Amino acid sequence: MMIQLKPIWNALRESPNGPKWLTWAAINLSIAAYFGYGLVAPASSHKTAWLPGETTHGHYQIELDCNACHDPGRSTEGPSGADVMQDACIRCHGAQLDLAKDTHPANKFRDPTNAERLKILDAQNCLTCHQEHVPEQTLSMGLTMPADYCWHCHQEVADSRPSHRGMAYDSCATAGCHNYHDNRALYEKYLDDHHGQSDHLELAALPQRSTLESLSGAFRAQQSLTIDDADHPSSWTTDPGFSENSASEDSLSGDSLLDDWATTAHASAGVNCSHCHRGDKDSAGDDAPWSEQVAIERCQQCHERQVESFKTGKHGMRLAAGLSPMTPDLARLPMHAGQAHAELDCSACHSGHRFDTQFAATDACLRCHADDHSLAYGDSSHAALWRDELAGNGPLGSGVSCATCHLPRLEGDSGIWVNHDQNASLRPNETMARQVCTHCHGLEYSLSALADPQTVASCFGDPPAERIKSVQMAHEWFEQQEAKRAARRDNR
Amino acid sequence: MKLNLQQRLAATAATVCLLLPLATLPGCSESEASSTPVGGITPQQFADGVHAVMMADRTVYAKHVVTNLNKQDAPVKAFEYWEDTENSIPLPAQMFRMGAELVDENPEAGFTYALRSKWPLNEQHQAKTELEQTALDFLSENPGENFYGEEKLGDQKYFVAVYPDRAVAEACWSCHNDHPNRGDDYPEFAKDDVMGGVLVRIPL
């Protein structure tokens, strides 16, 4: 049945309260339109009204893309009403957990004998421990349940480990003891293997990168190029205005851009201007148009692992979600105001045509970051070592830059590569002990330093106030076990 | 070595998957589980079959890989912390558990299996239900016999088969007898002793 609007409109006009009714209707329609648009709008500030509560530091960058977590269509298994958010967790964090040799994977609890336990604590669902939008109950690492959760399954731990008698269950997951997921630096054999190490190792140096071997794509180790080989548009060098506009602050002329490029590994490996500034040829074989901006996908052609890892950290996670690049003004950590709108892509740190890894390793970070830890770096002994190495007064790999700790050099199938997810070694920070600190420090010292908030804030300028006990405990455990074994042998 | 191991585990899983469609697993009592319906196999027959496959692979690994390496005094050894140690391969029990985990990840497998023992060196291998405890006691008191039963866990009923897990290779008992995790009541195992049970659980 059609609603006749004209009689309603006339009645409202003739009614003494008509204007009030119309105003009421207009206000309600506006509110409905505002919220309705927020529901269907693409990721943008229009969705802010639908945020049910503050998002954790790990997810707030993508909080306006509600579908990142709530869209059932993004599951590789197809639409799933029950596991939408679980699927979303695994999409972004599954590979990281595999890499971390997750000690409590969901499949560990699939054994049907866990049925009763799972009713108390559903360890197969990420959201049991990691809810979103509940800032009032969110602890470190996004934990949203009481920190003594270990008790539910490990309340009898003292029977097999008498050394644990009397320990509080909310102390299990403090640094230097246990983590729920990543225990690569904390399991007892690893602790025992590193018992007795001195705080500062005699052979202290980082492994060297296998730059060529860690490349992906087709451009590796081809014939090297010189300035004369550069295949930029012919108008480029004759148009100073063009070159100035396209140059970064580090190199302001077309000639210096070419000079910079000619001295890099790019030129040595035969990577010409067009490889980065043009896309792939079209189906007719014609060149793609020249572009001053180099899309991250172009970098990814050769630096696949670096770009992929960049997108899993806080610097690149917005790009991974299809949003605009991260900028410092979006950060929750203190940042320098002057860089508020600098967009974070590859060229943010590897600027100009030098792709200077030394600049990217420290100066690029400190250009934006202004928290206590970053501000303290310059006066730290780590920074002094870095300056010594750059000045040629220290051996290769002896300096400690920001990248040393936050972009760790990892052993891969094709040599040493640099993980560009600067958060990976902080999930949790004991990860850094194994991947980075133990190149130069003993494990006990490393774990102790990482466990001390003051030491971290001072960028390791202050020594750890307390020593963690787990390394000694693990060693004593193995000694006791070995003593028992020896006694049995004697009695046979 | 690792690739071969994975291939072998995959082959085990594939064999099991081939057997699975043959099984008819309607809700049935313990006595019914042993009877043979027309055109299918019983849960017990299915359990016996997959157990035969998994134990054959495990025995070969323990006897002809681990023990052989030991006898040759080879630089490669089976070692509990093999993932972090050079020249190391998984212990037979670890190889068995990893296979069980792969089958567990396969939604088509339709069953799970695990090691259990009254004297577990790994706490994860201790009996977890009353039926499992009963089964381990039964195996100790009735050498050479298998245990079959049913139990309800959560809202699901299961057919459970537990088979004696014997010391088949010298590497088994010598390592177990000398293991630092063994308790004071741990037996001194010798060849063919029942060291625990292999449990196969099938949802009904």
Give pLDDT, residue B107.
84
| A180 close to A104: Cβ distance less than 8 angstroms | yes
Give pLDDT, residue A43.
83
B104 part of contact set with chain A, CB < 8 Å: yes
Q: How confident is the model at residue A217 (pLDDT cuts 50, 70, 90)?
A: low
Task: Give the C-alpha separation, A209 to A151, whole Å.
Answer: 43
Give pLDDT, residue A464.
94
Q: In what order do the strands lie in the sheet with B194-203?
A: B112-116, B194-203, B156-166, B147-153
Distance from first CA to last CA of chain B, Å, rounded? 37
Is A25 part of any domain? Answer: no
Most confident of A19-33, A267-281, B32-46: A19-33
Q: Which of A107, A160, A189 sits opposite B104 (nearest CB)?
A: A107
| A267 close to A261: Cβ distance less than 8 angstroms | yes
Task: Give the C-alpha separation, A128 to A41, whole Å.
Answer: 30
A5-14 and A18-40 helices cross at what angle (nearest 10)? 130
Task: Give the C-alpha separation, A269 to A249, whole Å.
Answer: 25
Residue A108, domain extent? 60-74+82-156
Q: Which of B101, B114, B180 sits opposite A482 (nearest CB)?
A: B180
Interface residue of A83, A111, A155, A482 to substitute, partner B, most B CBs within 10 Å: A111
Q: What are the phi and psi torsion angles at B201 (to 5°)?
A: -125, 125
Rounded to an integer, the average pLDDT of A363-371 is 96
| B107 close to B32: Cβ distance less than 8 angstroms | no
Identity of the amino acid at B159: F
Q: What percent of chain B has pLDDT over 70?
A: 81
* CB interface of B with A, residues 52-81, below 8 Å: 80-81
A478 part of contact set with chain B, CB < 8 Å: yes
A452-489 confidence digits (pLDDT tens): 999 999 999 989 999 999 999 999 999 998 888 888 87
B170-187 confidence digits (pLDDT tens): 878 888 888 888 877 888
> If you measure CA to CA, which chain A residue comes closest to B156?
A112
Name which of A421, A474, A401, A450 is nearest A307 in CA terms: A421
pTM: 0.82
| B145 close to B127: Cβ distance less than 8 angstroms | no
Identity of the amino acid at A446: S
Average pLDDT of every residue of chain A: 87
> Three-class SS of residue B113?
strand
Contacts of A189 in chain B (CB under 8 A): 80-81, 84
Q: How many independent structural domains does chain A possess?
A: 1
Is A209 part of any domain? Answer: no
Q: Is B164 left (phi over 0), alpha (psi -120 to 50) or beta?
A: beta
Is A130 part of any domain? Answer: yes
> Three-class SS of residue A407?
coil
* CB interface of B with A, residues 22-41, below 8 Å: none
Is A151 part of any domain? Answer: yes
Q: Which of A107, A113, A484 sits opposite B153 (nearest CB)?
A: A113
HSE-CB at A415 with a 13 A cutoff on CA atoms is 10
Looking at the predicted structure, is the pLDDT value of residue A220 above 60? Answer: no
H-only helix segments in A216-303? 240-246, 254-262, 265-268, 273-277, 296-302
Give pLDDT, residue A56.
94
Q: What percent of chain A has pLDDT over 70?
A: 92
Is A468 part of any domain? Answer: no
Q: How confident is the model at residue A243 (pLDDT cuts 50, 70, 90)?
A: very low
- What is the count of residue pairs from A and B with beta carbons less than 8 Å apart? 43
Rounded to an integer, the average pLDDT of A188-197 is 94
Domain boundaries, chain B: 43-203
A485 part of contact set with chain B, CB < 8 Å: yes
Q: What percent of chain A has pLDDT over 90?
A: 49
Q: Which of B81, B83, B153 sits opposite A115 (nearest CB)?
A: B153
Angle at B126 between CA B123 and CA B130, to 5 degrees: 145
Give pLDDT, residue A221.
56
Burial (0-12, 13-18, 19+ Cβ within 10 Å), A215:
buried
Q: Which of B105, B112, B156 sits opposite A111 (nearest CB)?
A: B112
Q: Does the distance separating the beta carbons of B105 and A484 come in below 8 Å?
A: no
B125 part of contact set with chain A, CB < 8 Å: no
Is A480 part of any domain? Answer: no
